[in-house]
Each structure stands twice: as structure tokens, then as C-alpha cells.
């Protein structure tokens, strides 16, 4: 009996841990969606990237821990309906009370953070939505467990199933909402390939600039430029990079999946008048085949 009590106690503990992880990352997910839908004009592109990352993290963690919570809770409730051991029931009741205390403190801390953000100039509507998110998610969970310690769900199994179906529906809606506000994995992969191409072209440009400084002339081809070293190549499935000498200088071309993102609130790079090439820092591009024109200073 003691062995079973210990096992059941661990299951209850696992259920509560998975609950609070699910709640925490559900809040992270919904906060990220709010930030994406209501961007703060005073924040730069980094804030969009941060919010997108939070949505992805929230989706991943909720998809893992919420089903775990449902399975463990189902097991725990089945055991509690069959097990009338007073010691076990007392232990689980105390465990629930302690977890409610700790979890409540953590989630109230989240609410305090939202208020601090508002006082620091966050958008009023974002503050309202985030505050409602914390209050609703924690309120629903706390109501369930307050009724649980009173034995309500043990006596009303059908109502507990209905409550669970409602929770599943809400989580599925939140996850779907998150997916609808971030790029698909295929799009993210394509964006990473675009970034990789920009890095390659920047490296090629740096090499051309070094050649120009050293020999005061442009290389005829990329093979001549790199000599015995391998020339950077485009990712698989993309058209090869091209380099061409023009009347005013040269151009580097590549194929991109989407237009570049214009980042706001980024400090411009200072112009170095001693450098021989104009337009070195302009890496904005359009989708499809695009060429970066560079002019040589006379």
C-alpha cells in the first residue's frame, strides 16, 4: 500500500508540474501573439523577432506538456476514485494546496511584469490583453483545483470530462492562432537560405575590396579572385552567384525567396570616405533574381 501511495503521489506531482509548465508557456505563446498583432512603434525589428521566437517556443512546449498533463491527470483521477486511503488523499490535497500557492505566486509575478511594462510605456491595449490572458488562464486552472480539493470532480466525472474538453479546445485555438501569426517552417528555412546568401555575398565583396586595395583593379572573375581557394556557392536549389564588372564598378547577383525585411530603429553604419567602393552597406533586396550594384570611387 505504501508503495502504491508513493507512486500515486509522484503521478500527482508530475501532473501539477506539467500543468504549470503548460500554463506558463501558454501565456508566453499568447503574449507573443499579442506583441505581433499590436507592435509597439517605439520598438525595432528585434521585438518582432523576439515575439516570433516566443510564439514558436510556446507552441513547442504546450504541444509537449499539455497532453502530458491531460494523461497524468486522467490517471490520477482514476486512481483517486478507486483509492480511499486517507493518507494518500491527505497527501494529494496538501500537494495541490502547496502547488497552488507556489504557482499562484509565479503567475502573479507574470501579472506584475505586465503592469511594469505598461508603466514603462507599453501600449494600453497590449496591457489589457496580456492582463486578461494571465487572469483567464490562471483563473480557469485555479477554479479546477479548488473544486478538486473539495472532491467535486471525484463525484462528477462527466463534468470533469466537459471541463477537460473545454480546456483542450482553448489550447488548440491558442496554438492555431500562434501558427497563423508566424511563418511556416518552409518559409523560415527559405529566409535562412536568403541570409546565408547575403553572408556569402558580403564575404565575396570583402574579398573584392581587398583585391582592389592591393592591386588597384577588379578581378575578372570570381575564380581569379579566389585563386586556389573554393569560391562560395549558392545553397542547393538556388541559382549560382554571379559577378560581373560594370562601367562604374561591379555587381553581385543571387536569387532570393522573398524581399528583405526593412528593420526599423537600427543605427546606420558610419560612412568611411576612405573605402574605395560606394554602397557597401546596402543589402536590401527583392524576391527573385537580384543584383547588388557597387560603384568604384574615382
Least confident of 24-28, 146-150, 227-231, 235-239: 146-150
CB 87 within 8 A of CB 2: no
For the chain, the structural domain boundaries read 2-182, 186-296
3-state secondary structure of 250: strand
pLDDT digits (tens, 9 = 90+) for 62-85: 999 999 999 998 888 887 777 666
Measured CA to CA, the distance from residue 129 to residue 238 in angstroms comes to 43
State yes or no: pLDDT of 209 exceeds 60.
Answer: yes
Q: What's the mean pLDDT in 142-151?
A: 83
Q: How far is CA 32 from the centre of its chain?
A: 8
pLDDT digits (tens, 9 = 90+) for 217-240: 899 999 999 988 899 999 999 999
Give the pLDDT confidence score for residue 277 in this predicted structure.
79
pLDDT digits (tens, 9 = 90+) for 240-288: 999 999 999 999 999 999 998 765 444 455 555 567 777 778 899 999 9
Task: Give 3-state DSSP helix, strand, coil % of the chain, rounded to 5.
Answer: 65, 10, 25
Give the pLDDT confidence score for residue 103 in this predicted structure.
72
What angle is formed at CA 128 by the lines to CA 126 and CA 129, rounded to 5 degrees?
65
State yes or no: pLDDT of 8 exceeds 80.
Answer: no
Amino acid at each position: 500500500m505504501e508503495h502504491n501511495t508513493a507512486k500515486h503521489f509522484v503521478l500527482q506531482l508530475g501532473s501539477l508540474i506539467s500543468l504549470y509548465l503548460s500554463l506558463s508557456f501558454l501565456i508566453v505563446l499568447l503574449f507573443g501573439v499579442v506583441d505581433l498583432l499590436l507592435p509597439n512603434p517605439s520598438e525595432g525589428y528585434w521585438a518582432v523577432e523576439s515575439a516570433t521566437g516566443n510564439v514558436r517556443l510556446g507552441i513547442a512546449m504546450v504541444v509537449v506538456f499539455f497532453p502530458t498533463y491531460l494523461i497524468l491527470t486522467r490517471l490520477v483521477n482514476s486512481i483517486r476514485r478507486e483509492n480511499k486511503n486517507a493518507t494518500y488523499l491527505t497527501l494529494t490535497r496538501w500537494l495541490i494546496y502547496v502547488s497552488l500557492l507556489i504557482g499562484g505566486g509565479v503567475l502573479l509575478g507574470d501579472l506584475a511584469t505586465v503592469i511594469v511594462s505598461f508603466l514603462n510605456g507599453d501600449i494600453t491595449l497590449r496591457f489589457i490583453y496580456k492582463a486578461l490572458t494571465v487572469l483567464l488562464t490562471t483563473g480557469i486552472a485555479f477554479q479546477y483545483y479548488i473544486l478538486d480539493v473539495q472532491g467535486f470532480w471525484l463525484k462528477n466525472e462527466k463534468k470533469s470530462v466537459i471541463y477537460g474538453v473545454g480546456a483542450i479546445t482553448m489550447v488548440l485555438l491558442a496554438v492555431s492562432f500562434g501558427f497563423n501569426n508566424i511563418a511556416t517552417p518552409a518559409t523560415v528555412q527559405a529566409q535562412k537560405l536568403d541570409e546565408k546568401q547575403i553572408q556569402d555575398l558580403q564575404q565575396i565583396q570583402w574579398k573584392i575590396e581587398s583585391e582592389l586595395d592591393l592591386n588597384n583593379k577588379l578581378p575578372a572573375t570570381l575564380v581569379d579572385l579566389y585563386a586556389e581557394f573554393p569560391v562560395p556557392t549558392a545553397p542547393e536549389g538556388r541559382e549560382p552567384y554571379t559577378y560581373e564588372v560594370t562601367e562604374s564598378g561591379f555587381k553581385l547577383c543571387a536569387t532570393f525567396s522573398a524581399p528583405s525585411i526593412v528593420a526599423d530603429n537600427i543605427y546606420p553604419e558610419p560612412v568611411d570616405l576612405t573605402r574605395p567602393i560606394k554602397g557597401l552597406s546596402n543589402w536590401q533586396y527583392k524576391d527573385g533574381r537580384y543584383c547588388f550594384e557597387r560603384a568604384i570611387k574615382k
